[in-house]
Chains A and B, each alone.
Chain A
Amino acid sequence: DIQLTQSPASLSASPDEIVTITCQASQDIGSSLLWYQQKPGKSPQLLIYSATILADGVPSRFSGSRSGTQYSLKISRLQVEDIGTYYCLQVSSSLTFGSGTKLEIK
């Protein structure tokens, strides 16, 4: 099974800061990685697919990147409405989610 190690588990940042969340895959998954945002009490929302492609309607301050088997989600200028939990999901083989990163605003 492919494992995703997501970090950090939680973070607190101020508005306008740059925030980076990473997922390390246990083996090569190519570009088969997605990022989701889940706000409290809501369903997850797609942010990024194919590791780097911004989903429709997602603000351009969100971006995804890949370096080998490490994947990153970057929020370039954090906004208050970005609070929530972020998950990566690999769809290369027998889907697995990362453990989540809870983002809070200072």
Chain B
Amino acid sequence: QVTLKESGPGILQPSQTLSLTCTFSGFSLSTYGMGVGWIRQPSGKGLEWLANIWWDDDKYYNPSLKNRLTISKDTSNNQAFLKITNVDTADTATYYCARIAENWEGWYFDFWGPGTMVTVSS
């Protein structure tokens, strides 16, 4: 059974660094073809992809945010991480992590965590 759960600070101040953790079970990020992605959603708005990390440590970032994002993983502890530097109120959103699965027909986010709400406020 695949599960993922995000955790974060809840609230932080502008200019701080946001650190998010995705703790998962039911798969391994050392398995060929597996990955984890981060996606966010401001309240009442659409989805925005942030970053992906793959089993072989390949990393991909949203170009519009790339300078502020760092994705990483801890395979031994079944966790993935995302850091966003220099946050402002526009970063207020629910942050999701999702498993990436790949087969010969393509790849996709198949399982998602419930999301963690992050508010940036002074």
Contacts and interface: CB of A to CB of B under 8 A. Distances in A.
A78 interface: no
A47 B83 CA distance: 29
A36 B49 CA distance: 13
Interface residues of B, number: 20
B105 A50 contact: yes
Contacts, number: 55
A94 B62 contact: yes
Nearest to B100: A91
A interface, over-half SS: loop
B46 interface: yes
Contact of B47 (A1, A31, A44, A55): A44
A91 B35 CA distance: 14
A87 to B, nearest CB: 6
A12 interface: no
Interface of B: 37, 46-49, 52, 60, 62-63, 96, 105-110, 112-115
Given A44-B109, A95-B49, A100-B46, 14 more contacts: A1-B63, A34-B108, A38-B47, A43-B115, A44-B47, A46-B110, A49-B107, A50-B108, A55-B110, A87-B47, A89-B47, A96-B49, A97-B49, A98-B46
